[in-house]
Amino acid sequence: MIFYLKYFVIAYLLVVIQSNVFFKGVLKLFIVPDFALVYIFWLTMEDKENIAKYVGLFTGIFLDLLNPEKTFINTFSYFFSTLYIINIKNKFIGLNFTLKLLAIVLFSLIVSIPKTVYSFFLSNVSLNQSLNLIGFYVLYNAVIIYFIYYFTVFVLKRDEI
Amino acid sequence: MDNVKKRLIKLGIFFVYIVVIFIFLFSGKLKDISVDFIGVPSNFIYSTFHRLEEISSFFKDKKSLYQENEKLKKELEILKLENQKVFQLEKENEELRKVLQFKNQYTSAKIIVARVIAFSPDNWVNSFFIDVGSKDGVKEGDFVVAGGYLIGMVKSVGLNSSEVLSVNDENFKITVRTRKTGEICFYSGLGYKKGVLKYVRPEQDIRFSDIVETTILDRNCLEGIPVGIIKKISTKEGEFFKEVEVETFYYPYSLDYVIVVSR
């Protein structure tokens, strides 16, 4: 139980970090990187698909509960995009560095597009603004995953090949 | 036959899962509890950062502190002089109010000072968390003001923290009034520093750079709190209503202390 609980606690802490005033108050970032999404992606890549599914569902529910409006868009997008990424991952024997970057781009897009469409239908937010939001969101997540794999594979020399 | 049964059972379990998730997401109580889940650790992180800042400022070199002290002394003298002026103005103002029997609209309001401790983890939502909750008397629908301008409305209230929906969010909707012409409109958030007045009829007198303020028509509202300034008025071809864009005063990058106003 405790073994599984740690994954949920980490996801919860990542959401807390993501919501911290540091990003907007100190770094003045308009878009905050989605650490929870990167974590789910990392779990998927590290062959913890089952846990990734539940962590994806938990993160989605938690984000929806934190949403001021009653919605299920995060639960839907996080859970189903996790399933999709697991499906894609299983089609390959192993993903190299570039493929991992492509996969996180795809993952971020799958998560962000339903949210953008949802907010577009809610009120006609300009397309330009939405594109900027999606663009930077994907870029931030890709940069984080790049650094994670750069340090774990190249710096810490954990490459098994 | 067994296969069909198995599939039906699986479908049933999936359906039960979906129902449970929906109950989870649409129960207001759970939403309020989740606000505390993010509020308490965020408050702790914020306090720790604040302490670290205090410690770092303590270790500032003596020279800069001395210079700062000198500068502050000068400023203090100027402020003392200004304070005298303020006293005079206040007295004059009070007398004028008595003469005009002007009703002070905010005296009936309960004011709670709060600190912004976190922002929404979701990039698609414009909301933030404050360190006061139901324990301090905050209620859902209370207005949040910073620098004299309306910046949001309390949406979920936890025990020790609350979530505030900012005026820029697409879900923020209130009835407003233009200050100069007194036209009643419907305001909705639109994105970064932007809002929009909806359903403005062609005959309504909406003027450029007029201030949009809260009106008593909204049941939660205190009258006359500025929401934004009208920046663009246009008419789309084939559309009946005017398109009015409002610039709001909500700037998340410099938010620290805010005021929660409730009746």
CB atoms within 10 A of CB A119: 21
Q: Which of A153, A156, A157, A154 is nearest to A46 (CA)?
A: A153
- Cβ B37–A123 below 8 Å, yes or no? no
pLDDT at B96: 63
User: What ipTM goes with this model?
Assistant: 0.86
Lowest mean pLDDT among A100-109, B54-63, B146-155: B54-63
- Cβ B22–A129 below 8 Å, yes or no? no
Compare CB distances from A122 to B119, B122, B170 and report the shortest one's residue. B170
Split at pLDDT 50, 70, 90, the class of B107 is low
In sequence order, which residues have a C-beta less than 8 Å from that of residue A81 and are 6 or more positions away?
Answer: A56, A107, A110, A111
Q: How confident is the model over B114-136, as a mean pLDDT?
A: 88
Q: How confident is the model over B221-242, as a mean pLDDT?
A: 82
Q: How confident is the model over B39-50, as a mean pLDDT?
A: 83
- Cβ A133–B123 below 8 Å, yes or no? yes
pLDDT at B211: 87
Picking from B20, B35, B122 by the largest number of A CB atoms within 10 A of its own CB, the best residue to mutate is B122
pLDDT at B219: 59
Instruction: Name every chain A residue with its beta carbon within 8 A of the beta carbon of B236.
Output: none
| CA–CA distance, B58 with B61 (Å, rounded to integer) | 9
Q: Using alpha carbons only, give the angle A133, A24, A144 rounded to the nearest 5 degrees.
A: 60
- Cβ A28–B34 below 8 Å, yes or no? no
Q: Closest chain B residue to A129 measured between Cα atoms?
A: B191
pLDDT at A49: 86
Q: Which of B171, B46, B173 is nearest to B118 (CA)?
A: B46
Whole-number percent of chain B with pLDDT over 90: 4
Q: Closest chain B residue to A57 measured between Cα atoms?
A: B21
pLDDT at B105: 53
| CA–CA distance, B39 with A33 (Å, rounded to integer) | 20
pLDDT at B263: 61
Average per-residue pLDDT for chain B: 81
Render pLDDT for B61-89 as a digit per residue (tens, 0 to 9): 667 777 888 888 888 877 877 777 777 77
Compare CB distances from A66 to B120, B123, B256 and report the shortest one's residue. B120
In degrees to the nearest 10, what's the CA dihedral of A149, A150, A155, A156?
0
Residue B261 pLDDT exceeds 60:
yes
CATH class of B110-263: mainly beta
- Cβ A65–B122 below 8 Å, yes or no? no
For chain B, the structural domain boundaries read 1-105, 110-263
> Which of A132 and B106 is assigned the larger pLDDT?
A132
- Confidence (pTM): 0.77
pLDDT at B101: 46
Render pLDDT for B169-222 as a digit per residue (tens, 0 to 9): 888 888 888 888 888 888 888 877 888 888 888 888 888 888 888 887 665 567
User: Along the 161 residues of chain A, how does pLDDT read in single tens digits?
Assistant: 677 889 999 999 999 988 887 787 777 778 888 899 999 999 988 888 889 999 999 999 999 888 888 888 888 888 888 988 888 888 877 777 788 888 889 889 988 888 888 877 776 666 777 788 888 999 998 999 888 888 877 766 655 55
Compare CB distances from B163 to A21, A25, A68 and report the shortest one's residue. A68
pLDDT at B236: 77
Instruction: Name every chain B residue with its beta carbon within 8 A of the beta carbon of A141.
Output: none
Burial A143-159 (b: 16+ CB within 10 A, else e): ebbeebbeeebeeeeee
Q: Closest chain A residue to B28 measured between Cα atoms?
A: A70
Compare CB distances from B38 to A16, A32, A126 and report the shortest one's residue. A16
pLDDT at B103: 40
pLDDT at A14: 92
Split at pLDDT 50, 70, 90, the class of B95 is low
In sequence order, which residues have a C-beta less than 8 Å from that of residue B11 and are 6 or more positions away?
Answer: none
Compare CB distances from B24 to A32, A61, A118 and report the shortest one's residue. A61
Q: Which of B163, B161, B138, B143 is nearest to B153 (CA)?
A: B143
Q: Closest chain A residue to B140 measured between Cα atoms?
A: A68
